[in-house]
Amino acid sequence: MAIGLFRRSAVKILRVNMRDASLKWEPVPLEYEQVGGRALIAKLLLKEIPPACDALGPHNKLIFTPGLLGGAMVATAGRLSVGAKSPLTGGIKEANAGGTSGDALGKLGIKAIVAEDQPKAKTFSILVIDGEKAELIPVGDLRNTGTYATSDKLQERFGADATVICIGQAGENLMTGAGISTTGERDQRSNHAARGGLGAVMGSKGLKAVVIKKAVGKAVKMHDETLFRTAAKAYAQKLINDPKLGTKGSQHLYGTASIVGAVNEMGSLPTRNFSDGKFPQETELRGEKLRELVLAREGKVGTRCMPGCVIACRNLYADETGKPIVGTVQYETIALVGSNLGIGNLDDVATINYMCNDFGLDTIEAGAALGVACEAGLAEFGDIKGIIGLLKQVGEGTPLGRMLGCGAATTGRVLGIRRVPVALGQAMPGYDPRSLKGNGVTYCTSPQGADHTAGNAFGARKEVNPLGIEGQKQLSLKLQIIAAMLDSTGLCLFARPPIIANPQLMIDMINGIYGWGWTLEDYDRFNRDVLRTELEFNRRAGITQKDYRIPEYMREEPLPPHNVVFDVPDSDLDTIFETL
């Protein structure tokens, strides 16, 4: 695998010790050279932290890392991976987000920022990176400030083109549903590495924000620029030509919300705390409706979250007066805080979305927690006032707010509710596993817990019958390997089709930059190794098959309208990785 090794000596890891506030630029150790993004997170955590450690204690490490293609201006490949042991699942966690941070770090030759240990007292700092200079500065008046105001104030101070990665009240207060926000180009104020409570880890490190000043005139050094450019261009062209992804494609026109109708049609749209798979008002939540409203109100559609993206699936949702509420309203949020809460109105979805983003709270986890709270009677399904009244307490830090901010599993335990849609302690995204069983298999076998990006079978619903059990195990494994690849290179999930059809393009891009001479076999092994490493981390953390399981009620309570339960046998789940 290491033939033709080309070490980019300019590339460094930035170690930040949060106890003594010391910083160190470290040459990239050989063993971390050929990994990035999720793969680097897996390798580093397995090597450097005790897997059974307290996720909110000093031994956990928080990693920010672009994928292998980060900074090279490959279309859709600028995502930032954030990783740590998850305080939500107890296992390894990688969550990634668009925005400008992956690109900025890649251009600056920063392979990773690793935040270690934690302050003795509960103090907060901000890490500022300006080229080769890095320093920790006091948090000042940004304590308990939402992510929007935090980003705005830091961009005022460090430049409107600086990238700000930060947490809100949820992360500062160690809520296990807290995510991490990162800014994007100009009006793209909020992208989220949302899942697994990584915002709480950032809070436990006393790190309120990371500011990366724009890398002017910097570029990734190439081993073979021609090889790289040829492949990158061909890949971008394939994205543009893809009927779904190009400028006439549904993803560009309607964003991720384009699938609302199809998921509802399948009977898999989470509705009123996962008690139904169809939502009567689903047409009000569709991508088509979203586009219509946004255009009529002079909001924006078809914008990019990352530099160089040719899909541009993003929107900026505006209220009736044309005032922007939130960007970008996405499918998972619509499902979890819309239909799952009985809310059939995009204005209300956008309002909840904004609040979650501002508190720095995962909308999936928040929506699932609120669904459980509605089932417990704290608010009525569909009662937007009641639901907002609950949610705003997250920002206030009341015990009720903290409970919700800790996610669906904690909310279910406190309120005595059994019907809690989680796997490995993490809330399920917008596909009920009973009627999209491939996703169910991913939820309860992925080392990442229930996750829509860890191996999403929705796109394969015509290949494998989503209601059947046949072939789900094989499908999920295939998708999990692909997801590991995407998350390790910095690519967006939408980039999947061209890369699956032409894996040599990815290999050429990587070899073009790094000169590693990877073959198709190396590449396949690389992707599988990510999962292997993560599974080993979780095993050492004490996680067993029993911890991964789909909740009991989903195996016994039929989901309307198909009246199906999750019935993939445990024997399939327990053997899914045998061929890894």
200 makes contact with a copy of itself (CB under 8 A): yes
Biggest CA-to-CA distance, the chain: 63
Q: Which two tokens stand for residue 453?
A: 């990006």
Applying CB under 8 A, which of residues 402, 452, 496, 528 lies at the interface with a copy of itself?
A: 402
Specify the residue, 22 or 545, whose C-beta has the smaller distance to a copy of itself. Answer: 545
CA torsion 27-29-32-37 (nearest 10°) is: -20
Q: According to the binding rule CB under 8 A, does residue 545 interact with a copy of itself? A: yes
Q: Which of 194, 306, 403, 506 binds a copy of itself (CB under 8 A)?
A: 403
Closer by beta carbon to a copy of itself, 90 or else 342:
90
CB of 208 to a copy of itself, least distance (A): 15
Q: Considering beta carbons, is residue 170 or 290 the nearer one to a copy of itself?
A: 170
Site for a copy of itself in 381-400 (CB under 8 A): 399-400
Taking CB under 8 A as the rule, does residue 418 contact a copy of itself? yes
- Which residue in the set 141, 320, 546, 579 belongs to the binding site for a copy of itself (CB under 8 A)? 546
Residue with the two structure tokens 């619509």: 334
221 binds a copy of itself (CB under 8 A): no
Residue span binding a copy of itself (CB under 8 A) among the ranges 21-29, 268-276, 279-287, 412-420: 412-420
- Pick 54 or 463: Cβ nearer a copy of itself: 54
Q: How far is the CB of 88 from a copy of itself (least distance, A)?
A: 10
Smaller CB separation from a copy of itself, 292 or 536: 536
Q: How far is the CB of 59 from a copy of itself (least distance, A)?
A: 7
Question: Rounded to 5 degrees, what are φ and ψ at 347?
Answer: -60, -45
Closer residue to a copy of itself, CB minimum distance, 7 or 540: 540
By CB under 8 A, name the one of 385, 416, 521, 578 that touches a copy of itself.
416
The residue among 6 and 553 lying less far from a copy of itself, judged by its C-beta, is 553
What tokens does 46 get? 């397995």
Q: Which x/- pattern, by CB under 8 A, does the window 509-528 give for a copy of itself?
A: --------------------
Strand order from edge to edge, sheet including 314-318: 300-303, 314-318, 324-326
For residue 263, CA distances in Å to 270, 419, 434, 458 come to: 9, 21, 12, 8
For a copy of itself, the closer CB: 251 or 426 = 426
Whole-number Å distance between alpha carbons of 152 and 168: 13
Considering only the stretches 26-34, 269-277, 304-312, 408-416, report the one whose residues sit in contact with a copy of itself under the rule CB under 8 A.
408-416
Asked whether the beta carbons of 368 and 336 are under 8 A apart, the reply is yes
Instruction: Choose among 95, 153, 165: nearest CA to 127.
Output: 165
State the nearest-atom distance from the C-beta of 313 to a copy of itself, in Å.
35
Among residue numbers 36 through 75, which ones bind a copy of itself (CB under 8 A)? 52-54, 56-57, 59
Q: What sign for the dihedral angle of Cα 289, 292, 296, 300?
A: positive
Quick note: the x/- pattern for a copy of itself over 107-146, rule CB under 8 A, is ----------------------------------------
What residue type is assigned to position 521 of the chain? E
**Binding a copy of itself by CB under 8 A: which of 12, 107, 291, 549?**
549
Q: Rule CB under 8 A: is residue 380 a binding residue for a copy of itself?
A: no
Q: Which is nearer to a copy of itself, 401 or 438 (CB)?
A: 401
What residues between 443 and 502 interact with a copy of itself by CB under 8 A?
none
Smallest gap from Cβ 420 to a copy of itself, in A, equals: 10
- Per the listing, tokens 């009973």 go with 434
- The angle that helices 147-158 and 346-359 make with each other, rounded to 10 degrees, is 60
User: Which residues make Cβ contacts (< 8 Å) with residue 140, sequence separation at least 6?
Assistant: none
What would the two tokens of residue 391 be? Answer: 């949610």
Q: In sequence order, what DSSP letters do the residues of 115-175 get, joined into one string? A: EES--SSS--EEEEEETTEEEEEE-GGGTT--HHHHHHHHHHHH-TTSEEEE--HHHHTT-
Q: Applying CB under 8 A, what is the total number of residues that bind a copy of itself?
A: 36
The string over 542-570, giving b where at least 16 C-beta atoms fall within 10 Å of a residue's C-beta and e elsewhere, is ebeeebbbbbeebbebebeebebbbebee
Q: Smaller CB distance to a copy of itself: residue 199 or 302?
A: 199
Q: Indicate the residue among 243 and 377 with the shorter CB distance to a copy of itself.
A: 377
3 state SS for 539-566:
HHCCCCHHHHCCCHHHHHCCECCCCECC
Residue 577 binding a copy of itself, by CB under 8 A: no
- The residues near 113 (Cβ < 8 Å, ≥ 6 apart) are 13, 14, 16, 63, 64, 65, 105, 127, 129, 210
Q: Compute the distance between CA of residue 151 and CA of residue 170 in angstroms, rounded to an integer.
A: 16
Q: Is 406 in the site for a copy of itself (CB under 8 A)?
A: yes
- What is the C-alpha to C-alpha distance for residues 107 and 473, in angstroms, rounded to an integer? 39
Q: Give, to the nearest 10 degrees, the angle between helix 520-540 and helix 503-514.
A: 90
Q: Which of 23, 222, 295, 415 binds a copy of itself (CB under 8 A)?
A: 415
Q: Please state the closest distance from residue 480 (CB atom) to a copy of itself, in A.
A: 21
Of the candidates 119, 112, 125, 135, the one whose C-alpha atom is nearest the C-alpha of residue 26 is 112
Q: Which residues face 212 on adjacent strands?
A: 129, 163
Please identify, using beta-carbon distances, which residue of 255 and 407 lies nearer to a copy of itself.
407
Neighbour tally for 575: CB within 10 Å = 12
Q: Work out which of 65, 76, 173, 489 binds a copy of itself, going by CB under 8 A.
A: 173
- Give the nearest distance from C-beta 55 to a copy of itself in angstroms: 10
Which residues form the interface with a copy of itself (CB under 8 A)? 52-54, 56-57, 59, 173-176, 200, 203, 378, 399-400, 402-403, 406, 410, 413-416, 418, 540-547, 549, 551-553
